[in-house]
């Protein structure tokens, strides 16, 4: 067993992905292919504020091997989010990828879009399916609903779609069987050293029954434990996450109080309308005109019509 830094923290995950070899191993496992070349782009950032959380976002330009072992260039949009984040934020980042002029390459004297793969590593469930890893790949059909193959070779189609990979960290299991889940074991929060806390800076993982490629990830996270800047940033993240969760709890309490007040006001309105309706009927039974009733009750004739 070995102690590693917890990559659920943005600072640790960023430290891991800055190592090209370790990042290539992880992305290759998620993509199910070999990453031949990997370059991190310069539009990586993490932003936290008191009442909201922007996810850690890292973009890569990657050369992978396709199913025919041919080299293929893709853009990888990788986002790591521990707390729940609005889906609109993810859509905004994805839209930026589609608009980015750098995500095109020259082919036969014209510009063609580079295929996009989005990877979301979430510290929370995103749906009711308790699957550690979810893949979303577009499928194509003709008018008779027969599946069409090999349309990913079309530059036009590739420019209008993207592939989706979601990792739901809470559903990672011990003793994983698939390669991709084994390579994600460093994110499994069941390995926390301090199980009394919601999050722990350190994990204890098996470093013996793993292959050499996965060792690259584990060794990099071992190094993160000794990095003073990473340790300090984890402490800052703890404080920020506590602030965000406190703010969210306060916001939820205020919403509940407003809903309760709204219910009380609706009930009072209902009671008032019942009293007014009974008064209108009583005055009308005495032969009073609507105009006279309006003057007595100080409400309009239209309102009296509705209460009759």
Taking only the tens place, the pLDDT of each residue in 254-272 is 777 777 788 788 888 888 8
CA–CA separation, 220 and 225 (whole Å): 9
* Predicted pLDDT at 107: 84
For the stretch 208-229, pLDDT in tens is: 878 899 999 999 999 999 898 8
Q: What's the token pair of residue 215?
A: 């060792």
Tell me the β-bridge partners of 48: 53
User: Would you say 174 and 190 are in contact if contact means Cβ atoms under 8 Å apart?
Assistant: yes
User: Would you say 125 and 171 are in contact if contact means Cβ atoms under 8 Å apart?
Assistant: yes
User: Would you say 41 and 60 are in contact if contact means Cβ atoms under 8 Å apart?
Assistant: yes
Q: What percent of the chain has pLDDT over 90?
A: 37
Q: What are the residue ranges of helices labelled H in the chain?
A: 10-17, 20-31, 87-99, 155-158, 179-183, 212-226, 228-285, 290-297, 301-307
Say whether pLDDT at 247 is over 80.
no
User: Would you say 247 and 50 are in contact if contact means Cβ atoms under 8 Å apart?
Assistant: yes
Q: Residue 254 CA to chain centroid, in angstroms? A: 25
CA–CA separation, 192 and 227 (whole Å): 19
User: Would you say 209 and 217 are in contact if contact means Cβ atoms under 8 Å apart?
Assistant: no
* Predicted pLDDT at 49: 46
Q: Which among 215, 218, 220, 214 is positioned nearest to 204, based on CA atoms?
A: 218
């Amino acid at each position: 067993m070995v102690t590693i830094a917890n990559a659920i923290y943005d600072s640790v995950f960023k430290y891991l992905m800055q190592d090209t070899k370790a990042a290539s191993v992880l992305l290759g496992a998620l993509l199910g292919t070999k990453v031949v070349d990997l370059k991190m782009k310069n539009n990586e950032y993490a932003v936290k504020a008191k009442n909201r959380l922007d996810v850690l976002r890292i973009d890569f330009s990657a050369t992978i091997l396709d199913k025919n072992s041919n080299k293929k260039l893709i853009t990888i949009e990788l986002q790591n989010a521990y707390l729940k984040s609005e889906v609109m934020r993810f859509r905004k980042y994805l839209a930026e990828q589609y608009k980015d002029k750098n995500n095109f390459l020259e082919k036969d004297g014209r510009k063609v879009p580079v295929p996009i793969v989005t990877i979301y590593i979430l510290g929370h469930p995103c749906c009711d399916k308790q699957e550690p890893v979810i893949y979303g790949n577009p499928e194509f059909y003709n008018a008779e609903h027969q599946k069409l193959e090999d349309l990913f070779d079309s530059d036009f189609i590739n420019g209008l779609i993207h592939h989706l990979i979601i990792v739901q960290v809470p559903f990672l299991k011990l003793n994983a069987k698939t390669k991709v889940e084994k390579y994600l074991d460093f994110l499994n929060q069941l390995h926390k050293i301090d199980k009394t806390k919601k999050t722990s800076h350190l994990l204890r993982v098996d470093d013996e029954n793993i292959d050499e490629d996965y060792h690259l990830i584990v060794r990099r996270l071992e190094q993160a434990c000794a990095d003073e800047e990473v340790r300090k940033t984890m402490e800052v993240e703890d404080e920020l996450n506590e602030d965000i969760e406190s703010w969210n709890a306060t916001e939820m309490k205020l919403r509940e109080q407003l809903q309760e007040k709204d219910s009380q006001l609706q009930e009072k309105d209902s009671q008032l309308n019942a009293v007014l309706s009974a008064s209108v009927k009583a005055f009308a039974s005495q032969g009073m005109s609507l105009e006279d009733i309006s003057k007595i009750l100080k409400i309009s004739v239209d309102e009296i019509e509705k209460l009759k």
